[in-house]
Amino acid sequence: MAEPEDENKQVAQPRANPLEEGGLVERVMRSLELTKGVEIARRYLAMNGFDSALTMLGLLLGGLITIDPLNPTPGFNAILLAATGSIIAMAVSGFSGSYLAESAQRDREVEEMGRAMLTDMTNSMFAKASRTTAVVIAIVDGSSSAVAALIIMIPLWFVPFGLLPYNIASYMSICICILLLFLLGLFLGHISKRSMWKYAARTLFAGVVTAALLYTIAFVTSGG
């Protein structure tokens, strides 16, 4: 006679997918860790914030050079519109370009891994994590430049309401821009585990070079 099964015997449960456990933030972080996306997102954050700060610095300095102080409204409106257009363009270009590039690269990695393992990896945990990583990196790429530019532009939005004169607002935005370059330098020094002050000096030097080149071009063209 067959012995009765042990009622206390536990049936093995299938292992849960770690990418489906916990909250949204936890799942996203696991995906980034699995695909090494944290480092890539961090690079995009610093790089795009740096590019955006220098772009806005060029626009602001160009406005101070070209705007007629006796009739600043037309020139200021042009600078404000150009800055707003640049923010929109950087956000859309950053998100779409980064998503397409990352998706193509991640799909290639999944396909190569599948060929190496002689199996279909399309619906694997790594493939799902790769798709999540591509979206997160695209969001970081598109938003980092736009957010940096918006922060720099904060004083400029007070000008149309008569709360600040255009020149004071421009100088305040330039100060914010310089501060942002300094903070980005500290951030780069932190992630590189080297001297934070050296990196801060380098990012500030890039801003000085940008200003010097702009004023040099303005001097040459006006002299011609």
Between CA 77 and CA 125 the distance in angstroms is 51
What pLDDT score does 23 carry? Answer: 64
43 confidence band (pLDDT: 50, 70, 90): confident
Between CA 203 and CA 212, with CA 208 as vertex, the angle to 5 degrees is 150
What pLDDT score does 19 carry? Answer: 58
What pLDDT score does 17 carry? Answer: 58
What pLDDT score does 16 carry? Answer: 52
**Which amino acid is residue 24, in one-letter code?**
L
What pLDDT score does 1 carry? Answer: 47
* Domain positions in the chain: 23-62+72-218
51 confidence band (pLDDT: 50, 70, 90): confident
Supply the DSSP string of 124-154, one letter for each residue. Answer: SHHHHHHHHHHHHHHHHHHHHHHHHHHHHHG
When mean pLDDT is compared over 1-15, 28-42, 62-76, 159-173, the highest value belongs to 159-173
What pLDDT score does 155 carry? Answer: 92
What pLDDT score does 20 carry? Answer: 60
> Which residue, among 148, 142, 170, 159, has the nearest Cα to 59 in the 3D structure?
170
What pLDDT score does 36 carry? Answer: 76
What does pLDDT average to over the chain? Answer: 80
Percent composition of the chain: helix, strand, coil (DSSP 3-state, to 5): 80, 0, 20
Single pTM value for the model: 0.76
Tens-place pLDDT, residues 99-142? 888 888 888 877 877 777 777 777 777 778 788 888 888 888 88
Tens-place pLDDT, residues 12-41? 444 555 556 656 767 777 777 777 777 878
What pLDDT score does 100 carry? Answer: 86
